[in-house]
Amino acid sequence: MKFYDLESEFKFGKYEGKTLQEVVKIDPEYINTCSITEKDFFIAGPVIEDLKKLNPELNLSDSALQSLTDKHSAWKQEMDIDEDDEEGTYDYFDEQA
């Protein structure tokens, strides 16, 4: 799974080569779509909040949030991450579950 931050470049799709922050400004719905359809696409809660500041029109659907939550849970299991690890970074998804 790839953890995207604002400077991460898309390596796929119609916005290949553009950063996450560029894409959210021109097509916030694409972020929602990637959250649902791209198995290796992940954005953490703090990144979502930063994206919303860049474009308040970003609205992740319940399906997108659930997909991100599921990916996060699977990643934590795969990496054998304890609940106390990475404190604060992923609370956004733990609260969604």
DSSP of the chain: -EEE-TTPBP-SSTTTT-BHHHHHHH-HHHHHHHHHH-TTEEE-HHHHHHHHHH-TT----HHHHHHHHHHHHHHHHHHT--TTTTTTTSHHHHHH-
pTM of the model: 0.80
Share of the chain above pLDDT 70, in %: 84
What is the pLDDT at residue 40?
92
Q: Which residue type is seen at 88?
A: G
pLDDT in tens, 82-94: 655 554 454 565 5
What is the pLDDT at residue 97?
43
